[in-house]
Structure 1
């Protein structure tokens, strides 16, 4: 899916990922590619918890996304609410995870090249995905 009017950004350091984590930021001249997952309403709280909504790290955001066949869908996304911190670059390991997901979900080649060209902070060691999101 394509989300018009937003850009991908990295502005908050995550101890879990040893670098800045992804968010979307309003930008009328840009767009972000991603994937739409359909979940039952009963899983909303679980997803909110995974994204750190209760800790003020991300906030849910209602957006209109466009599918490759031109349909517009109302979707729930997450936007970083935590204050900026760190140098604004993802770790190499986090960047690889994002690029792998984009590749596996067949996002456009131009967007894959954009993701691959993002500067990272060079950290490619171990990460602790079980670490609480609130720990910085």
Structure 2
């Protein structure tokens, strides 16, 4: 009978060791998980804090304003006036696009005919893709 009891005790010891190993593995896993969670939270907090600091910097930073001189060449000015007149005659100059800087003269080497073609293509494209109403549709 002693052998049977000793055998049972040996089995019990093995079972206890297995349980201890399993519980220690579980503890190790849970401590690793807690550690990873803690690291993730710290990283998230540091990132959030850095964004807050950047936002604060932007609020206090001011850019000094100064006027920009618009230097125009007399020869270029002549071409712009001529193009503008021709676009108005052909009813191709909507008020929203009547701006010196949006005219395509430089892109077409100050060739009025080619510039008018480019301008017409731009207006057709804007109409086809409803570029002028895109902000109204988004609302």
- Mark yes or no: TM-score above 0.5: no
Larger of the two Rg values belongs to structure: 2
Task: Please state which band the TM-score falls in when normalised by the shorter chain.
Answer: under 0.3
- Please give the TM-score of this superposition, normalised by the length of structure 2: 0.18
When normalised by structure 1's length, the TM-score is: 0.18
More relative contact order in 1 or in 2 (CA 8 Å, sep 6+)?
A: 1
Query: Which protein has the bigger strand share?
Result: 1
